Amino acid sequence: MGTPVDPVPEVIRQALADASDAPGYPLTAGTPALRAAIAAWVSRACGAGVDGLGVLPTIGSKELVAWLPTLLGIGPGDVVVVPSIAYPTYEDGARLAGATVVRTDSLTSVGPTSRVRLVWVNSPGNPTGRVLPAAHLRKVVDWARERGAVVASDECYLPLGWSAEPVSVLSPQVSGGSYDGVLALHSLSKRSNLAGYRAGFVAGDPALVAELLKVRKHAGMIVPAPVQAAMVAALQDERHADEQRERYRARREVLTAAFTGAGFTVEHSEAGLYLWLTRGEDCWQTVDWLARRGILVAAGVFYGPSAGQYVRVALTETDEHVAAVAGRLADA
Ligand SMILES: Cc1ncc(COP(=O)(O)O)c(C=O)c1O
């Protein structure tokens, strides 16, 4: 269903343990070591220049997805745009703020008079595994800048490109070399198997990040000190992330072959942690057919009304379970 199952890498556990004597309040802004590690990683992984980049650790990325509209002062009468098929928390967060949600992938369908304050993009996408090309992201950023809206790019699957290379909103080909109005949200949950630690961060427009920091300080949205230390270790080590990516690559190959062999069509799924599948029938029929074989998948309708004929299969299962799924589908 999507929760990491492989062990937390030893280098990260050691850093957490070494920082466990933490009687004082941690820094909401992150320790200098963590801020430097985030900036260095964003520069490497997103192709972003570090000059002028705002960075801030978050308690996993879900909390920021859910609270970003509120933290930015978005409220009733404002519009938040979310992808047509999307991780549900974008909509939840807009509703928590009392804003109006518009579900679309095409900004031309948003009326010229509507008060759009925030546009969410998610590439690689959950649940579809779709990668948005740089030119598409650039258009979104240009459109938002013209209207003074913020683009929040949820990039928590960025390191997991398979048949397409994901691009960050912070890369110069998208941002035009300026961080104005753009925020990229990242997470160590999947890259480093740290979902249980709650370790994420945001990078982008320094003025927006400063505003977030100010509110979050007062709201007590602080990453615990031992987790901050663990994040430094995780961000400075690419080896464990490469090993984890190879595990997912192998599972993806087995599952793609197994589901295709059983008559499923795989759509998008060019990156990220999911296979987006259809049998051309209502998703609950597919969920039911698979459940009878002891295979649990997520129904497409969870992610948007246009996804009613799809199911989402996560690559986050042990090799043993993945092999069992392949075996059951082969016998189906
Ligand atoms: C698209 C997307 N964004 C954000 C999250 C939240 O991840 P976390 O809070 O573990 O960083 C998830 C989790 O599955 C996700 O799929």
Mean pLDDT of the chain: 97
Cα–ligand 1 centroid distance for 250 (angstroms):
22
Contacts 24+ apart (CB under 8 A), 137-141: 137/167, 137/169, 137/174, 138/173, 138/174, 138/176, 139/107, 140/107, 141/169, 141/174, 141/175, 141/176, 141/181, 141/182
Query: What ligand 1 atom has the least distance to the C-alpha of 87?
Result: 1
pLDDT at 270 over 90: yes
Residue 34 DSSP class: H
d(CA 154, CA 203): 11
Q: List pLDDT tens digits, range 97-132.
A: 999 999 999 998 887 767 999 999 999 999 999 999
Single-letter code of the amino acid located at 53: L
C-alpha distance from residue 82 to each of 57, 117, 216, 288, 303 (Å):
23, 12, 23, 29, 11
The two tokens of residue 9 are 């890498």
pLDDT of residue 114: 76
Cα–ligand 1 centroid distance for 120 (angstroms):
13
With a 6 Å cutoff on the Cβ, whether 168 touches ligand 1 is: no
pLDDT of residue 88: 98
With a 6 Å cutoff on the Cβ, whether 46 touches ligand 1 is: no
Cα–ligand 1 centroid distance for 156 (angstroms):
6
Percent of the chain whose predicted confidence (pLDDT) is above 70: 100
d(CA 55, CA 201): 7
Could you give the residue ranges of the DSSP H alpha helices within 10-108? 10-18, 32-46, 62-71, 89-96
What average pLDDT does this structure show over 280-296?
A: 98
Query: What ligand 1 atom has the least distance to the C-alpha of 125?
Result: 1
pLDDT at 219 over 80: yes
Residue among 266, 284, 283 nearest 274 (CA): 266
With a 6 Å cutoff on the Cβ, whether 41 touches ligand 1 is: no
pLDDT at 50 over 80: no
Cα–ligand 1 centroid distance for 259 (angstroms):
25
pLDDT of residue 94: 98
Q: List pLDDT tens digits, range 291-314.
A: 999 999 999 999 999 999 999 999
Strands (E), 189-328: 200-204, 265-267, 274-278, 298-299, 310-314
pLDDT at 89 over 80: yes
Q: Is the sign of the CA dihedral 60, 176, 78, 91 positive or negative?
A: negative
Provide φ and ψ at 290, rounded to 5°.
-70, -40
With a 6 Å cutoff on the Cβ, whether 87 touches ligand 1 is: yes
pLDDT of residue 1: 79
What average pLDDT does this structure show over 40-64?
A: 95
C-alpha 249 chain-centroid distance: 18
With a 6 Å cutoff on the Cβ, whether 189 touches ligand 1 is: yes
pLDDT of residue 111: 78
Q: List pLDDT tens digits, range 67-77.
A: 999 999 999 99
pLDDT at 142 over 80: yes
C-alpha 204 chain-centroid distance: 15
Mention every residue, 6+ apart, whose C-beta is less than 8 A from residue 320: none
Tell me which of 131, 185, 187 to substitute to probe ligand 1's pocket, judged by most ligand atoms within 8 Å of the beta carbon: 187
Q: What share of the chain is helix, strand, coil (3-state, %, to 5)?
A: 40, 15, 40
Question: What is the residue with the minimal CA distance to atom 1 of ligand 1?
Answer: 126
With a 6 Å cutoff on the Cβ, whether 272 touches ligand 1 is: no
Residue among 241, 225, 201 nearest 18 (CA): 225
What average pLDDT does this structure show over 43-52?
A: 91
pLDDT at 51 over 80: yes
d(CA 81, CA 106): 10
Angle 319-331/239-261 helices, nearest 10 degrees? 10
| Other CB atoms within 10 A of residue 191 CB | 24
pLDDT of residue 154: 98
pLDDT of residue 187: 98
What average pLDDT does this structure show over 206-216?
A: 98
3-state SS class at 103: strand
With a 6 Å cutoff on the Cβ, whether 156 touches ligand 1 is: yes
What average pLDDT does this structure show over 250-279?
A: 98
